[in-house]
Structure 1
Amino acid sequence: MKNHDKYSRVYFMPPVQSLKWTEKEYITEAPTWCSVDLRDGNQALVVPMSLEEKLEYFQLLVEIGFKEIEVGFPAASETEFAFLRTLIEENLIPDDVTIQVLTQSREHIIKKTFEALQGANSAVVHLYNSTSVAQREQVFRKSKEEIIDIAVTGAKMLNKYAAETEGNFKFQYSPESFTGTEIEFALEICNKVLEIWKPTDDGKVIINLPATVSMSMPHVYASQIEYMSDNLRYRDNVILSVHPHNDRGTGVADAELGMLAGAQRVEGTLFGNGERTGNVDIVTLALNMYSHGVDPQLNFEDIPSIMAKYEKLTRMKVHERHPYGGELVFTAFSGSHQDAIAKGMKWHEEKEPEHWTVPYLLIDPIDIGREYEGDIIRINSQSGKGGIGYILQQNYGIDLPAEMRESFGYSVKNVSDHEHKELLPNEIYDIFINEYVNVNTPVEFIRYNYTKNDHYEMTVSIRVNHDEHEFSGEGNGKLDAISNALQTKLGLDYTDLVYKQHALEIGSGSNAVSYVGITAKNGDVYWGCGIDTDIMTSSIKALFSAVNKMVSSLELSVESQLIESNK
Structure 2
Amino acid sequence: MSRKIWVFDTTLRDGEQVPGAKLNLNEKLEVAQQLKKLNVDIIEAGFSASSAGDFNAVKEIAEKVGNTDDIFITALARAVKADIDAVYHSVKYAQNPLIHIVLGTSDVHVEKKFRKSKSEILNIGVDAVKYAKTLLPNVQYSTEDASRADFEYLWATIEAVVKAGATIINVPDTCGYAEPEEFGELISKINDRLKNVNDHVLLSVHCHNDLGMATANTLAAIKSGADKVECTINGIGERAGNASLEEVVMSLNTRSDAYHAYTNINTKEIMNTSRIISNLMGLEVQVNKAITGENAFAHSSGIHQDGLLKSREAYEIINPIEVGLEDMELVLTARSGRHAVKNALQKLSFDSLTDTHFEGIFEAFLELADAKKEVYNHDLYVIVENYFAKHDNLNQNMTHYSDHFFELIDLQVISNTHFPSASVKVKKGDELLEGSSGGSGPIDALYSTIAEISELDLTLIEYNISSVSRGKEALGKVKIQVEYRGEKYMAKATDTDIMKASAFAFINAINSIIVDHFLQNSNRAHFTTNNG
After TM superposition, is the score higher than 0.5? Answer: yes
Matched, 1:231 2:193: yes
**Root-mean-square deviation (Å):** 2.9
Matched, 1:322 2:284: no
Distance 1:223 1:63 in 2: 34
Question: Which residue matches 2:238?
Answer: 275
Distance 1:76 1:206 in 2: 23
Q: 1:303 to 1:159 in 2, by over 3 A?
A: closer
Contact 1:245 1:278 in 2 (8 A): yes
Aligned mate of 2:336, from 383, 390, 394: 383
Question: Which residue matches 1:170?
Answer: 138
Distance 1:68 1:122 in 2: 9
Distance 1:211 1:129 in 2: 13
SS at match of 1:308: helix
Q: 1:67 to 1:271 in 2, by over 3 A?
A: same
Q: CA deviation at 1:63?
A: 1.1
Matched, 1:255 2:210: no
Question: Which residue matches 1:334?
Answer: 301
Q: CA deviation at 1:327?
A: 1.8
Question: Which residue matches 2:86?
Answer: 112
Question: Which residue matches 2:155?
Answer: 187
Q: CA deviation at 1:122?
A: 1.8
Question: Which residue matches 2:129?
Answer: 155
Residue identity matched to 1:217: E
Q: CA deviation at 1:57?
A: 1.2
Question: Which residue matches 2:170?
Answer: 208
Question: Which residue matches 1:421?
Answer: 373
Percent identical: 27
Instruction: Please list, as runs of the form range in 1=range in 2, the aligned pairs for 1:485-496 lying within 5 A after superposition.
Output: none
SS at match of 1:48: coil
Q: 1:43 to 1:509 in 2, by over 3 A?
A: closer
Question: Which residue matches 2:385?
Answer: 433
Q: Deviations over 1:21-68 (max 9, x none)?
A: xxxxxx944411111111111222414111111111111111111221
Question: Which residue matches 1:19?
Answer: none
Q: Deviations over 1:368-399 (max 9, x none)?
A: 33234xx5211112221111112112233436
Distance 1:207 1:338 in 2: 47
Contact 1:132 1:178 in 2 (8 A): yes
Aligned mate of 1:394, from 347, 351, 361: 347
Residue identity matched to 1:251: A
Question: Which residue matches 1:66?
Answer: 40
Q: CA deviation at 1:103?
A: 1.0
Contact 1:287 1:296 in 2 (8 A): no
Q: 1:79 to 1:445 in 2, by over 3 A?
A: closer
Distance 2:336 2:29 in 1: 45
Matched, 1:51 2:57: no
Q: 1:358 to 1:404 in 2, by over 3 A?
A: farther
Instruction: Please list, as runs of the form range in 1=range in 2, the aligned pairs for 1:429-468 lying within 5 A after superposition.
Output: 429-435=381-387, 437=388, 439-441=390-392
Q: 1:326 to 1:396 in 2, by over 3 A?
A: farther
Q: 1:305 to 1:108 in 2, by over 3 A?
A: closer
Question: Which residue matches 2:115?
Answer: 141
> Between Structure 1 and Structure 2, whose CA radius of gyration is higher?
1
Aligned mate of 1:343, from 306, 310, 313: 310
Q: TM-score, normalised by structure 2?
A: 0.69
Q: 1:393 to 1:47 in 2, by over 3 A?
A: same
Q: CA deviation at 1:403?
A: 8.2
Q: CA deviation at 1:438?
A: 5.7
Unaligned ranges ≥5, structure 1 = 1-26, 163-167, 200-204, 345-356, 447-504, 512-567
Q: Deviations over 1:257-293 (max 9, x none)?
A: 1101000111111111111111111112212223346
Contact 2:74 2:97 in 1 (8 A): yes
Distance 2:348 2:3 in 1: 39
Contact 1:229 1:235 in 2 (8 A): no
Residue identity matched to 1:334: S
Contact 1:303 1:370 in 2 (8 A): no
Q: 1:188 to 1:359 in 2, by over 3 A?
A: same
Instruction: Please list, as runs of the form range in 1=range in 2, the aligned pairs for 1:483-522 lying within 5 A after superposition.
Output: 509=522
Matched, 1:298 2:265: yes
Q: CA deviation at 1:328?
A: 1.6
Contact 1:302 1:370 in 2 (8 A): no
Distance 1:412 1:222 in 2: 52
Matched, 1:365 2:320: yes
Residue identity matched to 2:156: E
Contact 2:270 2:323 in 1 (8 A): yes
Q: CA deviation at 1:78?
A: 0.5
Q: TM-score, normalised by structure 1?
A: 0.65
Distance 1:368 1:38 in 2: 21
Distance 1:368 1:440 in 2: 45
Q: CA deviation at 1:401?
A: 6.1
Residue identity matched to 1:79: G
Q: Deviations over 1:518-537 (max 9, x none)?
A: xxxxxxxxxxxxxxxxxxxx
Q: 1:406 to 1:29 in 2, by over 3 A?
A: farther
Q: CA deviation at 1:144?
A: 2.0
Residue identity matched to 1:169: P
Q: 1:402 to 1:320 in 2, by over 3 A?
A: farther
Contact 2:62 2:90 in 1 (8 A): no
Contact 1:34 1:66 in 2 (8 A): yes
Q: 1:366 to 1:109 in 2, by over 3 A?
A: closer
Matched, 1:240 2:203: yes
Q: Deviations over 1:212-260 (max 9, x none)?
A: 1111321111111111111225241210001111111111111111101
Question: Which residue matches 2:475?
Answer: none
Contact 1:176 1:209 in 2 (8 A): yes
SS at match of 2:290: coil
SS at match of 1:237: coil
Q: CA deviation at 1:408?
A: 4.3
Distance 1:238 1:115 in 2: 24
